[in-house]
Amino acid sequence: MAAKKGQKGKARNKAGGKAGGNKSSYITAVAAKNSSSSSSSSPFILIRSALPGIILAAAGALWSRVSWNNETDDKSSVQPPSDVPPERELANMLNPKPGTWSHGYYTTEDADQAASSTHALMYQNGGGGEPELISFSSEDDFFSHGRLYNDLGQIVQSRAHFLNGTALYEGPQVAGTHFQWPPVHVGYKRAIPGLHGRNGKQIELETLTEPSPDASSSDPRVFYIHNFLSPEEADEFVRYSTADENQYKMAPSTGGTHKAWNQGGDAARLTTRTSENAFDIATENSKRVKHRAFRLLRMGAYAESLADGIQILRYELGQAYVAHHDYFPLGQSADHQWDPSKGGSNRFATIFLYLSDVETGGETAFPMMNRLTADKSEELVKRLGDAPSMEKRKDFIKDAGLSAGSWEEKLTMACYDKFAVPPRRGDAILFYSQRPDGELDVNSLHGACPVLKGTKWGANLWVWNACRYSQCREDPLNPAQELPEPMKAPYPGGK
């Protein structure tokens, strides 16, 4: 995410590193941002001309979340090279056709400027860390930094595809890690280039939290996905969950096991998970939605070995699931390497699909994060809803048949005291179980709030960072090495 107010940015030029310390050859960086949504602007121009430029003063100057433009700054100690040729080097640009896997993955229009850009502000993958100003003296110099993304999740192909001072993001650097969406700021909504739902609606990603580089105090990395499912797709998941042709149809929910139902996992019942669930393993509906999920995550391809079957859930009145992690513990079993930071694999991201509206309750809660406040996003606070009074909560709990002092009662209270997202049919939420460096994210703890009125239908779509348990073909103790080339970091610049 962008540097919080008061953090110091550090400029770097082509030749001389930066004052105050050394960094590796791969660039960690922080991008300039603004508070307006990008969904109504060109995906290739991230700088709004109405915004002031960042003034780069002497060492110790503070970076704010706005764009820096060389034309308005004559005080910087770092100026872009003066010998940059004006021509734009646009040879070998990729321009995927609509409907293809990588449509929307690449910048395909040049920025409206007279010459190729010479400097940018960059984040590390996922948007954490301090800001760094990087200068590019040539296209080869730009490519030497490896793959770079803009905040629409597009691979930037050329210096002519962004404006000076634009936010860029370093690509993943180690096999087994992947691109993660930068949050920018709470309430930031972007249309995902090239990605539409089955009904043709544009899919949009909205930031709900502000994760930080400090894992010990960070928010979870959570986004709201608008228009992910069509009504027909949601209804088909509900229908199939109880259909006779489904060999994994609705049954009491399981949890805590890494084994599939046909491996004995169907016996792993939990008293703190009272819903029912089914699996959709291979229908056309599930295949289509899983492919869409991989494209949303900006995975370079689709691999079935990285995806669990879609778990369809039904929560009746009073039913819930206590706070838990979707990833498995590092010591889950000895026959698999569970640590992604050491070449292993685990659940990387969850896309939770809302298949129905719920009259009251049924939120997805993140108990390690406080409720949003209006200073973060007044519009989001209004849409997520106000917490009911304590008296009203007690009435809901009583009417749902929940016992006083039960874990369900405690979870209900936490759902209204902490950050929670109410279900809305056809939408989804995305949250990451891993940090960008592959470390498991303890802050991704979440729970399914008790349904207090009505019925909740939802579905878990889990994506792993490499072949999941029992799906590795060569070495389950080194899953990252089995990734297909389009998914195996690091990547060359522009590709």
Average pLDDT estimate for 122-138: 90
Could you report the per-residue pLDDT of 95-106, keeping only the tens digit for each? 888 889 999 999
Between 76 and 133, residue with greater pLDDT? 133
pLDDT of residue 180: 98
Could you report the per-residue pLDDT of 280-303, keeping only the tens digit for each? 999 999 999 999 999 999 999 999
Q: What is the 3-state secondary structure (H, E, C) of the chain?
A: CCCCCCCECEECECCCEECCECCCCCCCCCCCCCCCCCCCCCCCCCCCCCCCCCCCCCCCCECCCCCCCHHHCCCCCCCCCCCCCCCCCCCCCCCCCCCCCCCCCECCCCCCCCCCCCEEEEECCCCCCCCEEEECCCHHHHHCCCCEECCCCCECCCHHHCCCCCEEEECCCCCCCCCCCCCCCCCCEEEEEEEECCCCCEEEEEECCCCCCCCCCCCCCEEEEECCCCHHHHHHHHHHHCCCCCCCCCEECECCCCCCHHHCHHHCECCCECCEEEEECCCHHHHHHHHHHHHHCCCCCCCHHHECCEEEEEECCCCCEEEECCCCCCCCCCCCCCCHHHCCCCEEEEEEEECCCCCEECCEEEEEEECCCCCCCHHHHHHHCCCCCHHHHHHHHHHCCCCCCCHHHHHHHHHHHEEEECCCCCCEEEEECECCCCCECHHHCEEECCEEECCEEEEEEEEECCCCCCCCCCCCCCHHHHCCHHHCCCCCCCC
pLDDT of residue 402: 94
- Does position 67 have pLDDT exceeding 50, yes or no? no
Alpha-carbon span 400 to 351, nearest angstrom: 28
- Does position 426 have pLDDT exceeding 70, yes or no? yes
- Does position 375 have pLDDT exceeding 50, yes or no? yes
From the CB of residue 280, how many other CB atoms can be counted at a distance below 10 Å? 24
- Does position 85 have pLDDT exceeding 90, yes or no? no
pLDDT of residue 115: 81
Could you report the per-residue pLDDT of 225-253, keeping only the tens digit for each? 999 999 999 999 999 999 999 999 999 88
Could you report the per-residue pLDDT of 316-359, keeping only the tens digit for each? 999 999 999 999 999 999 999 999 999 999 999 999 999 999 99
* Torsion 186-189-193-198 (CA) sign: positive
Ranges 8-22, 106-120, 465-479, most confident:
465-479
Q: Which one, of 210, 126, 272, lies nearest residue 443 by Cα?
A: 210
Q: Which amino acid is at 99?
A: G
pLDDT of residue 32: 34
Q: Which one, of 313, 349, 326, lies nearest residue 223 by Cα?
A: 349
> What is the pLDDT confidence band of residue 113, given thresholds at 50, 70 and 90?
low
Average pLDDT estimate for 182-208: 96
- Does position 279 have pLDDT exceeding 80, yes or no? yes
* Average pLDDT over the chain, rounded to an integer: 82
pLDDT of residue 266: 57
pLDDT of residue 129: 73
Ranges 35-49, 102-116, 311-325, 372-386, most confident:
311-325
Least confident of 72-86, 193-207, 320-334, 454-468: 72-86
Alpha-carbon span 127 to 104, nearest angstrom: 20
pLDDT of residue 383: 92
pLDDT of residue 57: 30
Q: Is the separation of the CB atoms in 243 and 263 below 8 Å?
A: no
pLDDT of residue 26: 27
> What is the pLDDT confidence band of residue 22, given thresholds at 50, 70 and 90?
very low
Tokens of 8: 């110091």
Non-local CB neighbours of 383 within 8 Å, separated by 6+ positions: none
pLDDT of residue 258: 65
**Whole-structure pTM value:** 0.81
